[in-house]
């Protein structure tokens, strides 16, 4: 009997693990909702793998914010405890990580991911279990369409891509260049494909021309065939909306083949590894980002100083967004009528005018942050400099920066995160 009982228990546990966690009636962490002990928050991200700096920087920002919140009394006297899972920069592992956080750790809410494909894979699990998820930096528009428990605090690709196109148009005019842009996109990335479509629609609407389109797959090492075809189109700009892991090698090979035009990309370029990998090949190239580390605004300057003191390095935008993500969740927890999934979901949806490092955070009806500022950075002399700013509060115009580059430079190499 004992042996049979053990077999039955083992089969039940195995079945639970294979099928995943059953949807929760009320959502969230029932232990947390009871009103005592630590509040368990889940985080999933690329701590290792191809996009490791994404997850590491985000984690640093989340933990710094959590420690500050706890030091200030926590959430109505209760401390936040962050449980982190590494998805190894793999889409399938993102779903596994979130399933574990919900079914085994019984977390109240989920923070993450950076890569849009990973967020899209994990979001339905959070939705079916009524566990709110806030992504700090997944910009693909589809992410928050996965359900009413899915939120983001960054701008979207439909916003980012359009302003990249506006910037490209203005840059070509200012530099007396033809308005022809070649494009190289990652076929495996929802992020890259989404940006490519938005950029194309806006740039052509402005009278520009997409001179040629080529593709690659994240992790490729040889881009010469695509770049040779692109060179033949003689573009004024080469638009590459990919991740930093590929951009450096693409830039190097482009220069080796004689392509001299600037590269233009999105926030997926943001990493201390970018310049370390690409070096001089990236000089004069541009990419859109969520904040500029040398912004003199007190909220930015204070964050940068505290981050440097804690981690010994300049925070990139992923760190700033991770910090804002945790602060947004904590603000909602303090306002929620009770700490369960549905109540917390409602409180997050009602977030308005929250001051963040990456701008003021107001959640709109589609669960996206509304009116976020956007900056365009240029790589000069191995440093990140501010090329332009787009702020909806001032009409959404692309304001080109004509001032000098800041004296302090973002680090060209990644230190231990």
> Is the preceding omega at residue 126 within 30 degrees of 0, hence cis?
no
pTM given for the model: 0.88
Q: CATH says 25-155+299-361 is which class?
A: alpha beta
Please provide the average confidence, as pLDDT, over all residues in the chain. 90
| SS3 of the chain | CHHHHHHHHHHHHHHHHHHCCCCCCCCCCHHHHCCCCCEEEEEEECCCCCCHHHHHHHHHHHHHHHHHHHHCCCECCECEEEEEEECCCCHHHHHHHHHHHHHCCCCCEEECCCCHHHHHHHHHHHHHCCCCEEECCCCCCCHHHHCCCEEECCCCHHHHHHHHHHHHHHHHHHCCCCCEEEEEEECCCHHHHHHHHHHHHHHHHCCCEEEEEEEECCCCCCCHHHHHHHHCCCCCEEECCCCHHHHHHHHHHHHHCCCCCCEEECHHHCCCHHHHHHHHHHCCCEEEECCCCCCCCHHHHHHHHHHHHHHCCCCCHHHHHHHHHHHHHHHHHHHCCCCCHHHHHHHHHCCCCEEECCEEECECCCCCECCCCEEEEEEECCEEEEEEEECHHHCCCEEECCCCCCCCCCCCCCCCC
Instruction: Report the DSSP beta bridge partners of residue 40.
Output: 81
pLDDT, one tens digit per residue, over 180-227 is 999 999 998 989 999 999 999 999 999 999 999 999 998 899 999 999
Specify the pLDDT at position 278.
Answer: 97
Q: Percentage of the chain with pLDDT > 70? A: 88
Dihedral of CA atoms 232, 234, 235, 239 in degrees, nearest 10, equals 30
What is the Cα–Cα distance from 291 to 300, expressed in whole angstroms? 9
Is residue 144 within 8 Å of 119, Cβ to Cβ?
no
> Does the pLDDT of residue 16 top 60, yes or no?
no
> Does the pLDDT of residue 49 top 90, yes or no?
yes
Q: What are phi and psi of 373, to 5 degrees?
A: -75, 160
Q: Comparing 3-17, 51-65, 310-324, 325-339, which segment has the lowest mean pLDDT?
A: 3-17
Going by pLDDT thresholds of 50, 70 and 90, the confidence category of residue 396 is confident
Q: Comparing 275-279, 343-347, 376-380, 393-397, which segment has the lowest mean pLDDT?
A: 393-397
**Cα-based distances in Å from 244 to 18, 19, 46, 277, 374:** 35, 35, 14, 9, 19
Q: What are phi and psi of 231, to 5 degrees?
A: -60, -35
> Does the pLDDT of residue 405 top 60, yes or no?
no
Domain ranges of the chain: 25-155+299-361, 158-289+374-400
> Does the pLDDT of residue 39 top 80, yes or no?
yes
Name the residue among 138, 136, 86 with its Cα closest to residue 320: 136
Is residue 131 within 8 Å of 63, Cβ to Cβ?
no
Specify the pLDDT at position 220.
Answer: 94
Specify the pLDDT at position 8.
Answer: 38
Specify the pLDDT at position 219.
Answer: 87
Specify the pLDDT at position 35.
Answer: 63
Q: What are phi and psi of 109, to 5 degrees?
A: -150, 165
Specify the pLDDT at position 26.
Answer: 53
> Does the pLDDT of residue 25 top 80, yes or no?
no
Specify the pLDDT at position 394.
Answer: 82
> Does the pLDDT of residue 415 top 70, yes or no?
no
Would the CATH topology of 25-155+299-361 be identical to that of 158-289+374-400?
yes
Q: What are phi and psi of 151, to 5 degrees?
A: -130, 165
Specify the pLDDT at position 36.
Answer: 75
Superfamily in which the 158-289+374-400 domain is placed by CATH: Response regulator (3.40.50.2300)
Going by pLDDT thresholds of 50, 70 and 90, the confidence category of residue 9 is very low
pLDDT, one tens digit per residue, over 80-95 is 999 999 999 999 999 9
């Amino acid at each position: 009997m004992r042996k049979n009982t053990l077999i039955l228990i083992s089969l039940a546990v195995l079945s639970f693990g294979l099928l995943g966690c059953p949807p929760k009636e009320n959502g969230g962490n029932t232990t947390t909702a009871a009103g005592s002990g630590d509040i368990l928050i889940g985080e999933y991200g690329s701590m290792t793998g191809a996009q490791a700096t994404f997850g590491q920087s985000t984690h640093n920002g989340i933990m710094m914010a959590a420690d500050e919140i706890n030091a200030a009394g926590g959430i109505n006297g209760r401390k936040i405890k962050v449980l982190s899972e590494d998805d190894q920069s793999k889409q399938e592992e993102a779903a596994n990580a979130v399933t574990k956080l919900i079914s085994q750790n019984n977390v109240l809410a989920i923070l993450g991911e950076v890569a849009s494909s990973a967020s899209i894979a994990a979001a339905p699990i959070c939705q079916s279990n009524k566990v709110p998820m806030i992504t700090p930096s997944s910009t693909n528009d589809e992410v928050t369409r996965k359900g009413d428990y899915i939120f983001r605090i960054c701008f979207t690709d439909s916003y980012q891509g359009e302003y990249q196109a506006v910037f490209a148009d203005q840059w070509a005019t200012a530099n007396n260049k033809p308005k022809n842009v070649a494009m190289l996109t990652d076929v495996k990335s929802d992020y890259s494909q989404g940006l490519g479509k938005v950029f194309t629609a806006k740039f052509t609407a402005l009278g520009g021309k997409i001179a040629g389109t080529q593709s690659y797959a994240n992790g490729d090492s040889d881009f010469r065939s695509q770049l040779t075809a692109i060179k033949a189109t003689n573009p004024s700009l080469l638009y590459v909306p990919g991740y930093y892991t590929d951009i450096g090698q693409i830039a190097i090979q482009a220069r080796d083949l004689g392509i001299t035009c600037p590269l233009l990309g999105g926030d997926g370029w943001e990493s201390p590894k970018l310049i370390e990998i690409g070096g001089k090949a990236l000089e004069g190239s541009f990419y859109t980002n969520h904040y500029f580390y040398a912004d003199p605004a007190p909220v930015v300057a204070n964050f940068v100083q505290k981050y440097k003191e804690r981690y010994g390095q300049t925070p990139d935008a992923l760190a700033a967004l991770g910090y804002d993500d945790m602060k947004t969740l904590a603000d909602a927890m303090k306002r929620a009528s009770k700490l369960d999934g549905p109540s917390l979901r409602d409180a997050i949806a009602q977030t308005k005018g929250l001051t963040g490092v990456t701008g003021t955070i107001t959640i709109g009806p589609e669960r996206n942050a509304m009116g976020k500022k956007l900056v365009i950075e240029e790589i000069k002399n191995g440093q990140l400099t501010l090329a332009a700013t787009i702020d909806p509060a001032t009409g959404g115009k692309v304001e080109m920066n004509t001032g000098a580059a800041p004296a302090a430079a973002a680090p060209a190499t990644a230190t231990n995160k």
